[in-house]
């Protein structure tokens, strides 16, 4: 029986967060394996999905139309393996960045809102690096849901507009006021088993 898409997405993000937990493991072999996998995922950002992608991404059977979003999220996570759960969007993370970097974060965020399907992955990588340098966590489950829309066929449609608008709202509130319409995508961190990856 085919696993529902929501569950596949959640399992994928759970695997990523497992890598994050693995980095803190006292098991040196596990730590090294996690680092290797993350390096492989980072290589995916250059358009060459590495061995990590095979284990982490394709294992969860991503739909054809969502593959780009899954690979991008995996690569972004590998760049900045500091994920959180909850329902905050990328706008909330950028809100935290603005607290530290003021206007430059605002300009960066406004540019991010403007990017269409072609320019968004490149700009997102820069934004995630900035967030990484200031140690600001990202909700990758929410980001995956949003990128599926922003990189999908309806990237010019109303849903994409709503995603950007929600990011913009969160950018000004810090995600404290979560919209009721936001789909729930809570992911818990789970330590990977000794055998993985």
Partner 1 sequence: MTAPFDLITQRWIPVVRLGGGEDEVGLAELFAEAHKIRRIAGETPPMTAALYRLVLAFLHRAYGPEYDADWGDLWKAESFDADAVGRYVNTSGASFDLFDAERPFLQCPELPEAKRSTVAKLIPDRAVGNNVTLFDHTVAGDRVELAPSTAARWLVTAHAYDPGGMKTPATKVKSSKRAPCNGFAVVLVEGRTLKETLLLNASLHDPEDPGDRAAWERPVPGAEPDKRRSGGWTDVLTWPSRRVRLFPTVRAGKTVVAEAVLSPGTELVGELPGLEKMAAYRTPLTPAGRPKPGAPMLPVRLRPVRGAWRHSVELLLVDPWNEERTRQRPVALKELATHTDRGRIPDETVYTLRMFGQQLDKNASVVEAYFEEAVPAPVALIRAQNDTDDENPVAKLVGCAIELADEAGAALRTMQREYHKEFHAMPGESIDLPYWPVLPRPFGRFLRDLNAARAAGRSERRVMDEWQRTVGSTARRVADDWAAAVAVSGRSLSALGKHQAALHKRLRSFSARFEGQIVKYLTKDDAE
Residue from the set 14, 169, 189, 191 that interacts with partner 1 by CB under 8 A: 169
Q: What is the dihedral of CA 33, 146, 10, 72, to 10 degrees?
A: -20
Residue from the set 150, 164, 187, 197 that interacts with partner 1 by CB under 8 A: 164
Pair of tokens at residue 134: 């200031």
Q: How far is the CB of 112 from partner 1 (least distance, A)?
A: 8
How many Cα atoms within 13 Å fall on the side-chain side of residue 2? 6
Does the protein bind partner 1 through residue 39 (CB under 8 A)?
no
Does the protein bind partner 1 through residue 133 (CB under 8 A)?
no
Instruction: Measure the CA–CA gap between 31 and 194, rounded to whole angstroms.
Output: 10
Interface of this chain with partner 1, residues 59 to 118, rule: CB under 8 A: 91, 106, 109-114
Instruction: Measure the CA–CA gap between 141 and 3, rounded to whole angstroms.
Output: 17
Residue from the set 136, 171, 182, 187 that interacts with partner 1 by CB under 8 A: 171
Does the protein bind partner 1 through residue 161 (CB under 8 A)?
yes
Look at residues 38, 28, 115, 113 and name the one whose alpha carbon lies nearest to residue 82.
Answer: 38
Summarize as ranges the residues that interact with partner 1 (CB under 8 A). Answer: 91, 106, 109-114, 158, 161-162, 164-173, 177, 179-181
């Amino acid at each position: 029986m085919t696993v529902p898409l929501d569950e596949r997405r959640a399992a994928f993000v759970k695997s990523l967060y497992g890598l994050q937990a693995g980095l803190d493991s006292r098991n040196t072999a596990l730590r090294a394996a996690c680092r290797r996998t993350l390096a492989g995922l980072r290589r995916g950002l250059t358009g060459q999905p590495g061995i990590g992608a095979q284990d982490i991404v394709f294992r969860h059977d991503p739909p054809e139309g969502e593959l780009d979003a899954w690979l991008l999220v995996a690569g972004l996570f590998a760049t900045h393996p500091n994920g959180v759960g909850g329902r905050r969007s990328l706008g909330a993370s950028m809100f935290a960045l603005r607290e530290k970097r003021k206007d430059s974060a605002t300009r960066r965020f406004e540019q991010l809102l403007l990017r269409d399907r072609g320019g968004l992955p490149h700009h997102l990588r820069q934004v995630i690096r900035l967030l990484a340098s200031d140690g600001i966590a990202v909700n990758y489950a929410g980001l995956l849901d949003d990128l599926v829309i922003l990189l999908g066929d309806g990237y010019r449609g109303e849903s994409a507009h709503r995603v950007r608008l929600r990011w913009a709202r969160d950018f000004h509130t810090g995600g404290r006021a979560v919209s009721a319409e936001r789909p729930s995508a809570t992911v818990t961190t789970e330590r990977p088993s000794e055998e993985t990856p």
